[in-house]
Amino acid sequence: MFTGIITDVGTIRQVERRGDLHVTIACSAATADADLGASIACSGVCLTVVDRGPGWFAVDISAESVSRTAGALWAEGARLNLERALKVGDELGGHIVTGHVDGVGTIVGVAPVGDSWKVDIAAPASLSAYLAPKGSITVDGVSLTVNAVDDKPDGGTVFSLNIIPHTADVTTLDALEPGRAVNLEIDVLARYLGRMEQLCHVR
């Protein structure tokens, strides 16, 4: 379980193609000292630490995870938003995040608004029902607030959010441009409410 409050930005140092991807990530000492078997959210994807050393840790990424996430993330030199798993007693500063990516969105617009940036992201049709103004969304592991929702005739949705300077400074959201793919996780409450509604209609 995570909160979407990023504590470190890591850089992929090495990618080995085995049965799965074996990825080594350079990071701060505070992240690298995670125990073997610990969970770390890597740009919104919950992964397990399988090896570690001073200033780095390694994870294995299955073909299933690669196929359901923004593929450009898993390349040498790519930067990742990192968050260690929530501990009992930790402050819940963002919202409840599971580290399970629900879909891949695409940035379609970036524009300055004051000191911040307004970002428009196209979400797949499968997520449209779960996006609402002032609701929570996780973008590449970062807990953010949806400002506006624009439903399209094809069933897809473009939603807007603001990236303040602090968020840009401490995450990978400092490099935003149209066409960039991002991992999206909808609010967990919306997911369960959607499932309950679906079951009610079936019955």
Q: What is the mean pLDDT of residues 151-173?
A: 94
More confident residue, 112 or 18: 112
Q: What is the CATH classification number for the domain harbouring 22?
A: 2.40.30.20
The pLDDT value recorded for residue 203 is: 59
Q: What is the mean pLDDT of residues 162-178?
A: 95
By residue range, what is the domain housing residue 107? 103-202
- Asked if the structure places residue 97 within a domain, the reply is no
> Would the pLDDT of 191 be above 60?
yes
Confidence band of 194 (pLDDT split at 50, 70, 90): low
Q: What is the pTM of this model?
A: 0.92
More confident residue, 106 or 91: 106
- Asked if the structure places residue 41 within a domain, the reply is yes
Same domain assignment for residues 59 and 147: no
The pLDDT value recorded for residue 164 is: 96
- Asked if the structure places residue 114 within a domain, the reply is yes
- Asked if the structure places residue 1 within a domain, the reply is no
Indicate the number of domains in the chain: 2
- Asked if the structure places residue 26 within a domain, the reply is yes
- Asked if the structure places residue 92 within a domain, the reply is no
Same domain assignment for residues 129 and 161: yes
Same domain assignment for residues 26 and 115: no
Say which range, 87-101, 104-118, 140-154, has the weakest mean pLDDT: 87-101
Mean residue pLDDT across the chain? 92
- Asked if the structure places residue 91 within a domain, the reply is no
The pLDDT value recorded for residue 100 is: 93
Q: Is the dihedral of CA 62, 170, 163, 85 positive or negative?
A: positive
What letters, b where the CB count within 10 A reaches 16 and e where it falls short, cover 145-155? ebeebeeeeee
Q: What is the mean pLDDT of residues 149-167?
A: 93
Same domain assignment for residues 50 and 130: no
Same domain assignment for residues 108 and 73: no
**Token couple for 83:** 């968050």
